[in-house]
Amino acid sequence: MFCDEVLDAIEAIAAGDLTPDGRVSDHLTSCPDCAAALGDARELERMLRARPVPRTSSQFTSRTMARVRRARWRSEQFLDMGFNFAIGMVILAVVAGVWMLMHRSGLTAISNDAVDLFSTAFVTLARRIAPSVPLYAGATALLVTALGIWWWAERDATL
């Protein structure tokens, strides 16, 4: 029996996966190199079994759960964005469809008249309101200030 054949089986013998038969045992008794290799392999086996098992930090679970939540939130955001985009596209398609329908049926001429009517009404309304703009602006400022104070007071109360 040659050393190469025995050396190929050394790791299996050291791990206990292979029981050396008579020829291999005889060779191991008579060959100091192969016997030394088996000794080394057994020592390596012992060291590998004795390797310390690394432990996680105490915050591992909470950190992992936070990362999972972040990832889930991101994927939900992505889904929401996709959904909103799809809705936007549908609305655009509907508007375009309605416009095309109106254009083909000649309703756009009527709608042009309607637009003219609305714009004339808007200009007339603006002319009438213009003198009172400072009054409305003052009232709006007062309202915004009051709402701001209320929000600030509520915010302080919840802290």
Partner 1 sequence: MEAINERELVERCRRGDEGAFQELVDRYKDLVFALIARTVQDRSRAEDLAQEVFLRIHRGLPYFRGEARLSTWIYRIVANVCLQDQTRPAAGREIVSLDDDGARGRVTVSTPDRRFDDLELRDRLEKAIARLPAHYRLLVAAHYLKGVQYEDLADAMQLPLGTVKTQLYRAKQQLRRLLETDLK
Quick check: 35 binds partner 1 (CB under 8 A)? no
Quick check: 140 binds partner 1 (CB under 8 A)? no
Quick check: 78 binds partner 1 (CB under 8 A)? no
Please select the residue that binds partner 1; options are 1, 71, 94, 149, rule is CB under 8 A.
Answer: 71
Cα–Cα distance measured from residue 84 to residue 77, given in angstroms and rounded to the nearest whole number:
10
CB 35 within 8 A of CB 29: yes
Quick check: 79 binds partner 1 (CB under 8 A)? no
Quick check: 41 binds partner 1 (CB under 8 A)? yes
Q: How far is the CB of 87 from partner 1 (least distance, A)?
A: 25
Cα–Cα distance measured from residue 155 to residue 159, given in angstroms and rounded to the nearest whole number:
7
Please select the residue that binds partner 1; options are 45, 102, 107, 108, rule is CB under 8 A.
Answer: 45
Please select the residue that binds partner 1; options are 25, 33, 60, 115, rule is CB under 8 A.
Answer: 60
Residue whose CB is less far from partner 1, 51 or 155: 51
- Interface segment toward partner 1; rule CB under 8 A; list 4-12, 91-99, 129-137, 146-154: 4-12
Q: Residues in the site for partner 1, rule: CB under 8 A?
A: 10-12, 14-15, 17, 36-37, 39-41, 43-45, 47-51, 53-57, 60-61, 63-65, 67-68, 71-72
